[in-house]
Amino acid sequence: MAAVVVAEPGPRRVGFVGAGRMAEAIAQGLIQAGKVEAQHVLASAPTDRNLCRFRALGCQTTHSNREVLQSCSLVFFATKPHILPTVLAEVARVVTAEHILVSVAAGVSLSTLEELLPPMARVLRVSPNLPCVVQEGAMVMARGRHAGSGEARLLGTLLEACGQCEEVPEAQVDVHTGLSGSGVAFVCAFSEALAEGAIKMGMPSGLAHRIAAQTLLGTAKMLLQKGQHPAQLRTDVCTPGGTTIYGLHALEQGGLRAAAMSAVEAATCRARELSRK
């Protein structure tokens, strides 16, 4: 007989099945933003290797995945994708209609999740990216057949603690992986190249890398806070006959735009291949 999770009159308890870096980042964001108290977070993992970081946050830990489901109504599944089916089979018998189940495993579709869980399971899928670690993540979520707008609003409100989160059709989750998941590496490559250009012109390495990173940060904040199209901000910086237009000309000669578009396309196509597998 399935265990029943009783809705608690007190604060919501949040569970994590899997205690890796992304799970820790989400938990840390929720706690720091005051969305949930540390003692109301329960995380499970096979060993203590990662659980020690949850304990350092003040969270409860266990080696039992079922205990997480039996204690928490909102549960994040943050295991490796190839492990998730086995984990879902293990906990399926203790899933109830009271649960909200959130998968952050890349490439595991909502249909697959729903096939492995009881028919009434309320399932959502979240695609985070690494900057969630510093509460500046870019996330999208998609909901399964039995998850309604209320569940989506609840999850979105919680994940705001980790950055920006928007609801999308599931078909766009793989595009998000190519744009934002893999995009972190693309941005790092560009930041490195900017800095190396300055190093070539005589600036010390440490200073060049700090200024390049701050330039990316400041530009991103302007785009988000002002709601401008990047082309408008680029035009604002670009004066006739000035330094910027000469630099932009060099970027166009190097095929920067085409290379960036191809990178997102390639990463998205690979994400789709992995999802089909």
- Rounded to the nearest angstrom, the gap between the alpha carbon of residue 164 and the centroid of all alpha carbons in its chain is 9
80 is in an annotated binding site: yes
Helix, strand, coil percentages for the chain (3-state, nearest 5): 55, 15, 30
Alpha-carbon distance of 20 to 80, in angstroms, equals 9
Residue 129 is labelled as binding a ligand: no
Compute CA 35 distance to the chain's CA centroid, rounded to the nearest angstrom: 17
CA 172 vs. chain centroid, Å, equals 14
50 is in an annotated binding site: no
CB–CB of 98/125 below 8 Å?
no
235 annotated ligand-binding residue: no
Residue 78 annotated as part of some ligand binding site:
yes
Residue 207 backbone phi and psi in degrees, to 5? -65, -45
Q: Quote the tokens at residue 185.
A: 């590496």
Helix (H, G, I), strand (E, B) or coil at 15: strand
Locate 260 and state its tokens: 């960036």
Alpha carbon distance 222, 218 (integer Å): 6
Q: Which amino acid does the sequence have at 158?
A: L
The residue whose two tokens read 């994400």 is: 271
Question: What is the rounded CA–CA span in Å between residue 41 and residue 71?
Answer: 10
* Nearest of 43, 29, 36 to residue 160 by alpha carbon: 29
Binding-site residues for NADPH, please?
Answer: 65
Binding-site residues, please?
Answer: 65, 78-81
Binding-site residues for NADP(+), please?
Answer: 78-81
